[in-house]
Amino acid sequence: MKTDIRQFGAYLDMERNFSSHTRQSYLADIGQFQQFLAGLSKVSGRVPADRWDSIGHLDIRSFLAALHKSGMKKVTIARKLSAIRAFFNYLIRQGKLHSNPADLVQAPTAEKYVPRVLSVDEVFSLLEGTYPPDEMGLRDRAILELFYSSGVRLSELAGMNIEDLDFGQSLVRVRGKGNKERVVPVGRVALMSLRTYIDKKLEKAPEGKPGSQRALFTGRSGSRLNVRTISRILQKYVSKSGLDRRVSPHTLRHSFATHLLDAGADLRAIQELLGHESLSTTQKYTSVSISRLMEVYDKAHPKAK
């Protein structure tokens, strides 16, 4: 079983081109399912813990029920079911199974939620705070400006290289989920912050091989910043700004999309900027203000006036 899971990880990496984060999440989900089966086998003796072909849809339902009983969110349970379904499809491809028992299991309906967003004034208070005048301070400001200006994900920002920036056309190349690339515009203020930071950064290392892949955001040692460090940087300036609420990189992404939508931007354009494959995903990640809804209603409904 462990060999199958390890080979499944290689399959996700090489053939499905999954990101390392998604691949690790899927493997963790399958590992958790395997542990559940082992415990089930000890209690009932009905499900051999070392045979995938003995697993039925009722065993998967029991696993999901146990997750729900533990208080796990429905969206997380649905992801674990997706991982199990993908794993069994892989085993069918390998000739180790004839059918997928997960196809008979329905995913739980995800809770509808309104994502946390900052108001425009709150974003400005965060971005216009006091930053140290050294390279690290310039870097931190560029990070926050780029988050809000482009709406990129945390992992996308962490993976950027200097070569991804096109100052002439005010664009940045983004490598999203599944290594899919997209190009998004960057605002003037964010570009100024990035240019100031990069100029300061290159003062220490002006030489470099032509076309070399140089990390955009680095620490004092010159190594690329990881996602945890970037999150801590954001939290530091959130605390300094006096915002009495939890703000994550995804909060800035939500705020980016919501503020564009409130200003009249087309939802499909926002979909392209965020890198969503489905428009329904964009609708879940953006919230529409009541004032914007009322404006649309007043303009469109024959009986509104």
Q: How far apart are CA 15 and CA 13, in angstroms?
A: 6
Of 153, 175, 201, 214, which one is the catalytic site residue? 153
* Mean pLDDT across the chain: 85
Known catalytic membership, residue 98: no
Which of these three, 73, 104, 135, is where a domain ends? 104
133 and 276 share one domain: yes
Domain count of the chain? 2
Known catalytic membership, residue 250: yes
23 and 150 share one domain: no
171 and 290 share one domain: yes
Q: What is the pLDDT of residue 117?
A: 86
What are φ and ψ of residue 176, in 5° steps?
A: -95, -155
64 and 164 share one domain: no
Q: Are 267 and 282 in contact (CB under 8 A)?
A: yes
> pLDDT per residue over 106-122, tens digit each?
988 866 666 678 999 99
256, part of any domain = yes
What are φ and ψ of residue 242, in 5° steps?
A: 85, 10
Q: For the chain, how are helix, strand and coil distributed in percent, rounded to 5?
A: 60, 5, 35
Which of these three, 43, 71, 104, is where a domain ends? 104
Q: What is the pLDDT of residue 266?
A: 84
Residue 65: count other Cβ atoms within 10 Å of its Cβ: 11
| Domain, as residue range, for 199 | 120-297
171, part of any domain = yes
Helix or strand run (H / E) with residue 109: none
> pLDDT per residue over 166-210, tens digit each?
999 999 999 887 678 899 999 999 999 999 999 999 887 655 444
Residue among 178, 3, 274, 174 at smallest CA distance from 266: 274
303, part of any domain = no
93 and 132 share one domain: no
Q: What is the pLDDT of residue 193?
A: 96
Known catalytic membership, residue 253: yes
pLDDT under 50 in the chain at which residues? 208-212
110, part of any domain = no
Q: What is the pLDDT of residue 303?
A: 65
126 and 91 share one domain: no
Which of these three, 72, 104, 136, is where a domain ends? 104
Q: What is the pLDDT of residue 210?
A: 45
Of 79, 200, 250, 284, which one is the catalytic site residue? 250
